[in-house]
Amino acid sequence: MNPTMNDVAAKATRRSFALRLAGGACAVACVPGAAWSATRVEEADETAVALGYKHDTKKVDAKKYPKHAATQRCNNCGLWQGAAADPWAGCSMFGRKHIAAEGWCMAWVQKPG
């Protein structure tokens, strides 16, 4: 059975509606540079505890981590994925969660250059 003009028009209208809906959703969620708030690491998270992560490098236990220096912060670590001025950003040690610029963990490594 061949489709009628009404069937073709209805199908085209449904497709057009779906495309407009997708476009509308993208207008909300796909704006270039739009802020996306990632989940932040909690100091009590299993990985954070294992790495001795603290949101504030000044609160790192010096006895437990004698090689830690107060000048070592996430935003001068080689694994920091943000800009120097970002307050929170990604780190390959914590997957999709963000860590604090002023934070620290035992995986700290001097940022090259």
- When the beta carbons of 21 and 50 are compared against ligand SF4, the nearer one is 50
- Concatenated DSSP letters of 1-40: -PPPHHHHHHHHHHHHHHHHHHHHHHHHH--TT----PPB
Nearest-approach distance from CB 101 to ligand SF4, in angstroms: 9
Question: For the chain, what is the largest distance between any 2 Cα atoms, rounded to a whole number of angstroms?
Answer: 82
Residues that bind ligand SF4 (CB under 6 A): 53, 74, 77, 79-80, 91, 93, 99, 103-105, 107-108
- When the beta carbons of 6 and 77 are compared against ligand SF4, the nearer one is 77
